[in-house]
Amino acid sequence: MRVLVSDIGGTNARFAMAELQRSAPLLHDSVREYPAADFAGAADAARHFLDELGERAEAAVFAVAGRVRFEEAQITNHPWQIRAPEIGAALGTPRVALINDFAAQAMAISRLRTDDVVAIGAAGWPGFDTRATQTYAVIGPGTGLGVGGLLVRNGRCFPLETEGGHAGFAPSQPRDLRTLECLMRRFGRVSCERLVSGPGLVNLYLSVCEVEGVAADALSPAQINTRAAAGDAHCQQAVDLFCTAFGSMAGDLVLTLGAWDGVFLAGGVVPKLLDALRTRGFREAFEAKGRFSPAMADVPSLAVVHACSGLLGAAAYAAETYEPAAIA
C-alpha cells in the first residue's frame, strides 16, 4: 500500500512515496525535488515523479504553501493553483488530501527523533510522547514564513493550519522601528514574512543600507549570510535583525497558542543560519516577554535539521488519515 506524499513551496516541489504499514512510513530513497517553475502545475509534477520512479499511488497527500479551502489551494509565492480533483485524475485515485505545508511540518513533530533537532538555548526536548497532552508551535522561514501548531490529545495528533506569517510585524526595540519605517515605505503594511524569510533577509539588508546611507549591493540571501560570516558589517546587522525578529515572533507564537511544550523552527533557511541563531540574539528575543520571561525560559526552541521534514509530516498525516483496509 503506497501513498504519494508531496511538499510544495514557492520555489521547489518535493515528492516521495510512503508505505502506511511501516512504523516509519516515509521511503527516504524515493525522495525527489524539482523546481516548481519546470512544470505547468502540481499534477504535471506529480505525474512526472511517478513515471520517473515507475510507481503507482493508491492515495496522496499534498502539503502546499498556501491556504487550503474546499479541496483547492493557491500557492502564496508561486502561480500554481492546486485542485484535489485534478490531482486525483492525474494520479488515477480519488483519495487526495490537501493540507497546508505547516500542518505537515506540525505533523512531522510526531515522527522526529531527538537527533533530528538542535536546541537553540538551554531548554532541551525530551522527545515526542503521544501518551501525554501536549501543545507545540512550529514556525519557519523559506520563500515565505510558515506558521502552525500541533495539539496532542488522547493519543491523537491534530495539526493547526494557519497563515500566521502574514500577521503584522511588531517592533520591540528602537532599531526595529527604523527597520519598520524603511519597509513601510516599500510595502505599506509590513507582515512578519517581509522580515523573516529568504526574501525577508534581503529586505533587512536593504533597510540596513538605507538607514546607514550606503549603496546596497544586489545580494541573494545566501550571499548575505556568507558575507556576514566573513565580517561584512551591513550583512551582519541584517542577520542580527533577522535572528532577533525570528526569536520575537517565535516567542509570540508560544504565548498565542499556549505552546509550552516547545516551538520547532522549520523551513529551508533554518539549517543555513543555525550558527547565527545560536549566537545572534534569537533566544534572548524569544524569552524577552516581560512578566512571562521566566516561563519562556523553560520552553524549548528547536531547530529542525531533518532533511525532508515536510514529507515526513505528510507521511505522518497519511498514516493517520487513510485506513489501509479502505485503500486496499
pLDDT (tens digit per residue) in 102-128: 999 999 999 999 899 999 987 788 889
Binding residue per annotation — 301?
Answer: no
Question: Has 8 been labeled as part of a binding site?
Answer: yes
Q: Confirm whether residue 262 is marked as ligand binding.
A: no
Using the predicted structure, report yes or no on whether residue 325 has a pLDDT greater than 50. Answer: no
Q: What is the reported pLDDT for 240?
A: 96
Provide the pLDDT confidence category of residue 327 given band limits of 50, 70 and 90.
Answer: very low
273 phi/psi in degrees, rounded to 5: -110, 20
Q: Mean pLDDT throughout 305-320?
A: 94
> DSSP secondary structure string, 106-154?
HHHGGG--GGGEEESSS-------TTS-EEEEEEEESSSEEEEEEEEET
Task: Write out the three cell numbers for 214.
Answer: 550606503
The mean predicted confidence, pLDDT, of the chain is 93
Instruction: Report whether 6 belongs to an annotated binding site.
Output: yes
Residue 96 — very low, low, confident or very high, per pLDDT cuts 50/70/90? Answer: very high
The rounded percent of the chain whose pLDDT value lies above 90 is: 78
Q: Is the pLDDT of residue 317 over 50?
A: yes
Q: State how far the alpha carbon of 247 is from the alpha carbons of 41, 94, 215, 235, 253, in Å.
A: 35, 42, 28, 18, 10
User: Under CATH, which number does the domain 1-112+306-327 receive?
Assistant: 3.30.420.40
Total residue length of the chain: 328
CA–CA gap between residue 24 and residue 20 (Å, rounded): 8
Task: Quickly count helices (H) and strands (E) in the chain.
Answer: 13, 14
164-304: CATH number: 3.40.367.20
Domain borders along the chain are 1-112+306-327, 164-304
pLDDT of residue 324: 54
The pLDDT confidence band at residue 323, using thresholds 50, 70 and 90, is low
- Asked if the model's pLDDT at residue 31 lies above 50, the reply is yes
